[in-house]
Structure 1
Amino acid sequence: MGAMKLLVVAAVTIVCTAATVAGAQVHHVVGEDRGWDPSTDVASWSSNRVFRVGDKIWFTYSAAHESLVELRSEEDFTSCDVTNPIKMYTDGLNTISLEGEGIRYFASGNTESCKNGLKIPVKIQPKEQNTAQSVGSMAVADGPTLPSASTNLNGLSYLLVVGLSIFLCLLGL
């Protein structure tokens, strides 16, 4: 099974590398296979990421147990005040385009989950030409951010990440 996952990740990487010729942006899947979940260390996940204008960030979560809010300020983010968000997401799968430089604040709509660390600030940097993102041990220019082959992917999350990546790469999104 591990070889199959590696083969699929390699195939997606090849398809997405070809899509970069058309100028595809980076797709960040928050928390990779665990998604937007209280058990995920999203702070560690986001700490080494570079978010750029034009990228997309994907949040996957159980709509029955979680939600996502975009907060107005650093103060709301720090205190986990989710009572007056810019926007609330409850679908279980949300794609957010990162347009414009600056910091956007995302948190769990559940105050307790937010206070337990389910929140991330997303610092959006200017779009750079010919940048490289690391995917496992391979570099992909302006391609999607994918989990490494060593990530323990499981069932639906694995299929969701791979399926969405292939679909978006084929569309050039």
Structure 2
Amino acid sequence: MAGLKPFIALVVILTAIGGKWVGAQVNHVAGGDRGWNPSSEVGSSSSGRIFRVGDKIWFTYSATRESIVELKSREEFESCEVNNPIRMYTHGFDGVSLREEGIHYFASGNPESCRKGLKLHVEVQPQHEIQAVAISEAMAAGPTTPSASAHHDGLSYVLFVGSLLCFMGL
């Protein structure tokens, strides 16, 4: 029976992750604690962050004064040409799912606010592919607590649940 537990854990983990890296969806807040406004230095709040396919950017702003537009090109972004957006967000609290790799351009729908720096471009990286080595190392380590890195949270949770099921005899 002892040899069966690691096998069950491996099956649970592989089933749960489906062969792909299961990073918890990372939620990024544009502008940090201040939200989406000219005083928040929106661009600097995203510097150093890694955006991946499946992550979400949250925009909080005054819907009576602002809106968010997603632009097609760097030229539109730099010149604050916001009249022909790909998408427009107007609710005041919008979560934008990053579904595709590449550079995404967001700006205030108000050209004047955009020119004052209320704009954000993010480079979205692909999701990680999980490697068999990572699974075997994680299984050898046993149950874990979520790590500091948000991209490891999902795998840690799956490992914890899989291990718990094995130790319960399921």
Range into which the TM-score falls when normalised by the shorter chain: 0.5 to 0.7
Deviations 1:70-107 (A, max 9, x none): 00111100100001111111100111111121011000
Contact 1:25–1:143 (Cα < 8 Å) also in 2: no
Residue 128 of structure 1 and its aligned partner are, at CA, apart by: 2.1
- Take 2:97 and 2:121, find their aligned partners in 1: how far apart are those partners? 15
Q: Is 2:151 the counterpart of 1:142?
A: yes
Kindly provide the amino acid, as one letter, of the partner of residue 117 in structure 1: G
Partner of 1:90: 90
Partner of 1:45: 45
In our comparison, the structure showing a higher alpha carbon Rg is 2
Partner of 2:60: 60
**Aligned-pair Cα RMSD in Å:** 2.0
Residue 124 of structure 1 and its aligned partner are, at CA, apart by: 0.3
Unaligned runs of 5+ in 2: 1-21, 131-146, 154-170
Partner of 1:165: none
Runs of 4+ in 1 over 3 A off after TM superposition: none
Give matches, 1:1-173, under 5 Å.
Answer: 23-128=23-128, 139-142=148-151
Q: TM-score, normalised by structure 2?
A: 0.64
Residue 143 of structure 1 and its aligned partner are, at CA, apart by: 6.9
What is the aligned residue count? 117
Contact 1:103–1:124 (Cα < 8 Å) also in 2: yes
Contact 1:26–1:143 (Cα < 8 Å) also in 2: no
Percent identical: 61
Contact 2:26–2:150 (Cα < 8 Å) also in 1: no
Residue 23 of structure 1 and its aligned partner are, at CA, apart by: 4.3
